[in-house]
Amino acid sequence: MHKNKHLWLLIILSLSLTILMPACSKKESPSKKPESSMGQKPKAPPEIEKILSDIDMLIAELDKDIKQKKMSPVEKAAQLEPQGQEGGGKSAGQSQQGQSPEQSKGQNQGEQSSEGQSDQQSQDKSKQSQAGMQTQGQQGVWQKADKSLKSIHQSWNKLEPEAIKAGLQIKARDDFEKALEELTLNISQQKSEESLMAAVSFYKYFAQLAQVFAMPTPPDFFQMKYEVMAAITEAGKQDWLAAQKHLPNIQEHWNSLKVQAQGTDAKLLNQSEFSIHDLMDAITSEQSDLVIIKGEIVMNNLKQLEAGLSKMSSGQGSQKSK
């Protein structure tokens, strides 16, 4: 009796194991599939590069326009200062040959009066020319801004469905569109400083595109460049507290980026690090002129670093294809 009982238990146990084993193998299979496709992002569409080119151009034009508006009257006049004429009139005390002192004095006074009127007319013409050029320059800035903005909208229309398909979250898509709407509104109202800040804010959302597309520049690069541009822009408005709030983020993203960029030019990485620290010191000490100089150096280094990352990425791609 006991033997039969044990036999039944063995049969039930063996049947249970037979049923459970396929179930366990089925549970393991889904976890293996993502591992095979992990890290394989779709190639970045050309519209991303087009939007980046347009937004960089837009930021450069707006920044240039703002700096020109902040130039002092002396700096503006120096750009249009008329050159002096050689061999000008005679001195007040010099008399012409064959004329009496009284006649010479009367003629000199007439010449001085004439020269005074000529100088005044020249100054008036210079001011009118300066005002005309400034107006034309501002019109040119907004024409370029409108053109770049239209191009960005067209590129985004083509890119948006591809980005959603690649895995861009709905919130990220909404943030991107909201930033683009803010930029469009400020440009339509021709607000220089507001448009510049909106363009800079729009730039940071490229980090989210770099997370879903295979791009040569990692998300930290876009975050880093955004924080730098935002800090420089705030410093340009003399809002030092707002500018200084970006400094910890600059350092954080740079620490991550320089590790990812180890395959690029080591000398350029060192230059970039020193220039970033110099910019941060200038913002901390609230030195406007120094921020402009150090900011330009940082932006130039980042441009070269971006080219180095792109070159490194293309080199790795060619090795993988082999």
Structure tokens at 251: 């350092």
What pTM was computed for the model? 0.70
Q: At what angle do helices 46-69 and 101-166 cross, to 10 degrees?
A: 150
Query: What are the backbone angles phi and psi of residue 248, rounded to the nearest 5°?
Result: -60, -35
**What is residue 133's predicted lDDT score, i.e. its pLDDT?**
47
Cα torsion 149, 152, 157, 160: sign: negative
Residue 19: predicted pLDDT: 45
Evaluate whether 157 touches 24 at the Cβ level (below 8 Å).
Answer: no
Q: How far is CA 174 from CA 25, 89, 202, 208, in A?
A: 41, 70, 12, 12
Q: Give CA 133 to chain center in angstroms.
A: 27
The single-letter code of the amino acid at 274 is F
* SS3 annotation, 278-310: HHHHHHHCCCHHHHHHHHHHHHHHHHHHHHHHH
Reduce the secondary structure of the chain to three states and give it as a string. Answer: CHHHHHHHHHHHHHHHHHHHHHHHHHHHHHHHHHHHHCCCCCECCHHHHHHHHHHHHHHHHHHHHHHHHCCCHHHHHHHCCCCCCCCCCCCCCCCCCCCCHHHHHHHHHHHHHHHHHHHHHHHHHHHHHHHHHHHHHHHHHHHHHHHHHHHHHHHHHHHHHHHHHHCCCHHHHHHHHHHHHHHHHHHHCCCHHHHHHHHHHHHCCHHHHHHHCECCCCHHHHHHHHHHHHHHHHHHCCCHHHHHCCHHHHHHHHHHHHHHCCCCCHHHHHHHHHHHHHHHHHHHCCCHHHHHHHHHHHHHHHHHHHHHHHHHHHHHHHHHHC
User: Going residue by residue through the chain (322 aa), what tens digit of pLDDT does each one get?
Assistant: 555 555 555 555 555 545 444 444 444 444 333 333 345 889 999 999 999 999 999 999 999 989 888 776 665 565 555 444 444 444 444 444 555 555 555 555 655 555 666 666 655 555 555 544 455 556 689 999 999 999 999 999 999 999 999 999 999 999 999 999 999 999 999 999 999 999 999 999 999 999 999 999 999 999 999 999 999 999 999 999 999 999 999 999 999 999 999 989 999 999 999 999 999 999 999 999 999 999 999 999 999 999 999 888 776 655 554 5
- pLDDT recorded at residue 99: 56
